Chain A
Amino acid sequence: MPQKISLRIDGELIHTAAGQSILDAAKAHNKFIPALCHMKGLSSVGACRLCIVEVAGVGRLLPACTTPVQDGMSVTTQSDKLRRYRRIALELLFAERNHVCAVCVSNGFCELQGLAKRLGVTNVRYPYTYPKVPIDLTHPRYTADQNRCILCSRCVRVCAEVEGAHVWEISGRGVGSRLVCELNRSWGESTNCTSCGKCVQSCPTGAIAEKGFAVEEMSKRTDPISRLATLRAAGSDNKPGVIL
């Protein structure tokens, strides 16, 4: 049995099991913390910084997805300071790549766009950087357009942790970071890719999509993958190569 602990989230006393993240504990008690790189069933990496929270006695903001709950902890999930920093993090994601929602496959379904709306973003206060980044259309069924990539690494993790194919990696540092396929091959030349589509469904934006979908058509579903990942974690048998 995991150890039981008690903590406060936004003043509310919560009893939960040790080992959980603040994000999971908050979610289980119907508290909304914005999150983009987190996906249920995958490991957490703290890449997007949208889920930052305040923890009493800690001088800096902590990502809720990678910070485990502790006995006696007091967490604040909503404050002016958090709203300000979350907005900055979100706006910088937009400024860092080329997001043109009006012509994007994921327009209307995108998690990035959805959060912008939810957090009340009406404009990006930082100058856009207009990087020239790769678009890979070589896979027979899927597309990878890094103009829309937020480097959340959900594709990397789902491919490695759930499908076991290890196709994706992130190369470079900082603003120079790029998604690469198998030591920088084109996706069409990949020898590991099983065409399972898990990265397509897991990508929160229009960066990885399915061919044949036009603007505003690419809706995605992560819950079957999360279920599969949870089953696997519980030890039940599942074979790679399941096509969703």
Chain B
Amino acid sequence: MNKAKVATVWLDGCSGCHMSVLDIDEVLIDVLHKADIVYGPLVDAQEFPEGVDVTLTEGAVSSQHDYKLIQQIRKRTKLLIALGDCAVTGNVPSMRNTIPTKRLLERAYVEGADIHQRAPSDGVPALLRHAVPVQEIVKVDLHLPGCPPKPALIAFALTELLAGRKPDLTNPSVAGLVKFG
């Protein structure tokens, strides 16, 4: 049997959603029987590969880097999941959206610093005007809200997907785990 290709990606988030993926405990072993993890912070791959079946996206789209990557991911992924509130609503990263980015960087890196008072520019991608939910940039096939999403919800979604079914979040066994916001 061909193994499914699963990727995870970490955009503007705190990595808590990835922790929640690890927290699915022994379900992870079942997942790894049926799928290879081909990209993400948990594996060593430089470029997002072609032909990925499922991508779990953590984090808001916040920088030029996120913006380009998420479009590449969309092209190369059959089923894109927004994992967690930052990817679903913008959440904490979007709290900066009412402040102009220049002012924001000044406040953090100039006024907020005792030494090296300068906003970084080399080797870091420029910020977008707003940190936005993934669905504002590309089509999202499934939203798994929560900050972070409950491990049992992630386990359910992955198990269903790897069995070839679209996860139904209104299913009574998980409906209580879906907490918007």
Residues of B within 8 A of A125 (CB): 135
Give the number of residues in A that approach B within 8 Å (Cβ atoms).
24
Query: Is B91 touching A132 in the complex (CB atoms < 8 A)?
Result: no
Residue in A116, A127, A128 whose CB lies within 8 Å of B181: A116
Closest to B176 in A: A117
Bound state CA distance, A103 and B143, in angstroms?
A: 20
Give the number of residues in B that approach A within 8 Å (Cβ atoms).
28
Bound state CA distance, A110 and B143, in angstroms?
A: 21
5 closest A-B pairs by CB: A101-B181, A102-B147, A130-B97, A116-B180, A123-B143
Interface of chain B residues 96 through 131 with chain A (CB within 8 A): 97-98, 130
Residue in B92, B98, B170 whose CB lies within 8 Å of A131: B98
Query: Is A122 touching B180 in the complex (CB atoms < 8 A)?
Result: yes
Residues of A within 8 A of B136 (CB): 127
Q: Is the interface of B mostly helix, strand, loop or mixed?
A: mixed
* B172–chain A nearest beta-carbon distance, Å: 12
Q: Can you list 16 A-B contacts with CB-CB less than 8 angstroms, sorted by A residue number?
A: A94-B181, A98-B94, A99-B89, A100-B94, A102-B92, A102-B147, A107-B181, A113-B180, A120-B178, A121-B180, A122-B169, A122-B178, A124-B89, A128-B90, A130-B97, A130-B130
Contact with B along A91-105 (1 / 0, CB 8 A): 000100011111110
Assuming the A-B contacts A99-B181, A101-B181, A102-B147, are A123 and B95 also in contact, with contact meaning beta carbons closer than 8 angstroms in the complex? Answer: no
Residues of B within 8 A of A101 (CB): 85, 91, 147, 180-181
Closest to A128 in B: B90
Bound state CA distance, A110 and B98, in angstroms?
A: 23
Q: A98-B95, A98-B97, A110-B181 are in contact. List 20 more A-B contacts (CB 8 A).
A: A94-B89, A94-B181, A98-B94, A100-B91, A101-B91, A101-B181, A102-B147, A103-B92, A103-B95, A104-B181, A113-B179, A113-B181, A120-B175, A122-B143, A122-B180, A123-B82, A123-B89, A128-B89, A128-B132, A130-B98
* A195–chain B nearest beta-carbon distance, Å: 29
Closest to B88 in A: A123
Closest to A99 in B: B181
Bound state CA distance, A102 and B14, in angstroms?
A: 12
Residues of A within 8 A of B170 (CB): 120
Residues of A within 8 A of B135 (CB): 123, 125
Bound state CA distance, A8 and B135, in angstroms?
A: 42
Q: Is the interface of A mostly helix, strand, loop or mixed?
A: loop
Query: Is B98 touching A132 in the complex (CB atoms < 8 A)?
Result: yes
* B178–chain A nearest beta-carbon distance, Å: 6
* B134–chain A nearest beta-carbon distance, Å: 9
Bound state CA distance, A125 and B139, in angstroms?
A: 11
Closest to A147 in B: B98
Residues of B within 8 A of A131 (CB): 98
Assuming the A-B contacts A100-B92, A122-B169, A128-B90, are A117 and B97 also in contact, with contact meaning beta carbons closer than 8 angstroms in the complex? Answer: no
Closest to A121 in B: B180
Residues of B within 8 A of A102 (CB): 85, 91-92, 147, 181
Bound state CA distance, A98 and B170, in angstroms?
A: 26
Query: Is B88 touching A122 in the complex (CB atoms < 8 A)?
Result: yes
Query: Is A122 touching B145 in the complex (CB atoms < 8 A)?
Result: yes
Contact with B along A122-147 (1 / 0, CB 8 A): 11110110111000000000000000
Interface of chain B residues 63 through 101 with chain A (CB within 8 A): 82, 85, 88-92, 94-95, 97-98
* A89–chain B nearest beta-carbon distance, Å: 15
* A41–chain B nearest beta-carbon distance, Å: 28
Residues of B within 8 A of A103 (CB): 92, 95
Residues of B within 8 A of A94 (CB): 89, 181
Query: Is B92 touching A117 in the complex (CB atoms < 8 A)?
Result: no
Residues of B within 8 A of A110 (CB): 181
